[in-house]
């Protein structure tokens, strides 16, 4: 089954306009396959998986209380996905609430608040300790967005986005070292350790998985053609030319991990999100039907 589905996917990719990485692992049989498994991909918001893991690690060590409340400031706000940027300062969510906003709505403001709390160096130290050799978190969401806009502040970035200006060829899309990157193999390994509750204490892993099951972004990706009763704990990522989804699929026929990263899509002349989502949903559908 595995080699057959891999060959069908590879055939489709021969005429696809972007660079694609795929990782699959059957959590019951242990069967797996990869396409560009060791190639580094820009994560977009998929890097938030690493951020939430570090947050829960520090919470377990007593360095952070998930029940502590944070007062939202105007200076916290950043652009892109999420709702906090549209709410009044003074809002008083718990750190756990911020984590849920980060993973469920991919809230960029919540993400950057948490990143400042836990520290970028600590996120990368945990990535290293997990044995992930080709993953890194080097940019906050605000830094990524400013680079995409070719701007030095949020107001200029907002103006550039409104005018449809993109900093083509900027650090955000050409730098695979000082950027937020991972590989299909690294992400499959991360999600597998989370599934088997090997990353942190079992209760922390279960809580993170439950949060990811409520993800409201990327409905047209891994989940698109799956039956209603099939739950997916996943995280999506999107930015110009980048359409990603990585998740654990809880199927009645057996649980599995599916990671699909798409980079390098032409984003100025075509609807790259729809094109990427079509491919991800097709790969997901083929795997689910083959498995069941």
Q: pLDDT category, 292, cuts 50, 70, 90?
A: low
- Look up the pTM and report it: 0.96
Nearest to 76 by CA among 122, 114, 123, 44: 114
pLDDT > 90 in the chain, percent? 95
Taking only the tens place, the pLDDT of each residue in 144-175 is 999 999 999 999 999 999 999 999 999 999 99
Q: Is the predicted pLDDT of residue 62 greater than 80, yes or no? A: yes
Mean local confidence (pLDDT), 77-84: 96
Cα gap 241→270, rounded to integer Å:
10
Q: Is the predicted pLDDT of residue 95 greater than 70, yes or no? A: yes
Q: Is the predicted pLDDT of residue 213 greater than 90, yes or no? A: yes
Give me the pLDDT at residue 25, please. 97
Cα gap 173→175, rounded to integer Å:
6
Taking only the tens place, the pLDDT of each residue in 224-267 is 999 999 999 999 999 999 999 999 999 998 999 999 999 999 99
How many residues are recorded in the chain? 292
Domain that holds residue 11: 2-291
At 174, list the tokens: 């050409």
Residue pair 113/119 in contact (Cβ under 8 Å)? The answer is no
Give strand pairing partners of 236: 245
Q: How many domains does the chain have?
A: 1
CATH number for the domain spanning 166: value is 3.40.710.10
In the chain, how many H helices and how many E strands? 11, 7
Q: pLDDT category, 4, cuts 50, 70, 90?
A: confident
> How far is residue 168 from each of residues 148, 180, 255, measured CA to CA in Å?
7, 17, 39
């Amino acid at each position: 089954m595995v080699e057959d589905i891999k060959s069908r996917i590879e055939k489709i990719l021969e005429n696809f306009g972007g660079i694609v990485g795929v990782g699959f692992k059957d959590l019951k049989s242990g069967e797996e396959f990869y396409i560009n498994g060791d190639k580094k991909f820009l994560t977009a918001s998929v890097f938030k998986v690493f951020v939430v893991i570090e947050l829960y690690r520090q919470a377990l060590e007593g360095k952070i209380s998930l029940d502590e409340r944070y007062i939202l400031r105007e200076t916290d706000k950043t652009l892109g996905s999420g709702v906090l940027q549209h709410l009044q300062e003074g809002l008083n969510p718990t750190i756990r609430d911020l984590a849920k906003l980060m993973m469920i709505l991919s809230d960029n403001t919540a993400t950057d608040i948490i990143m400042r709390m836990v520290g970028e160096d600590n996120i990368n130290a945990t990535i290293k300790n997990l044995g992930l050799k080709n993953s890194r978190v080097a940019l906050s969401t605000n830094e990524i967005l400013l680079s995409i806009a070719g701007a030095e502040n949020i107001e200029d970035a907002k103006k550039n986005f409104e005018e449809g200006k993109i900093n083509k060829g900027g650090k955000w899309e050409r730098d695979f070292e000082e950027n937020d990157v991972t590989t299909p193999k690294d992400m499959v390994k991360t999600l597998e350790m989370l599934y088997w509750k090997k990353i942190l204490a079992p209760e922390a892993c279960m809580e993170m998985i439950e949060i990811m099951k409520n993800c409201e972004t990327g409905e047209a990706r891994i989940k698109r053609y799956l039956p209603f009763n099939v739950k997916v704990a996943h995280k999506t990522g999107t930015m110009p030319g980048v359409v990603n989804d990585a998740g654990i699929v809880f199927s009645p026929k057996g649980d599995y991990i599916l990671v699909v990263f798409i980079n390098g899509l032409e984003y100025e002349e075509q609807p790259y999100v729809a094109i990427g989502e079509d491919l991800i949903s097709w790969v997901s559908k083929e795997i689910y039907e083959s498995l069941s």
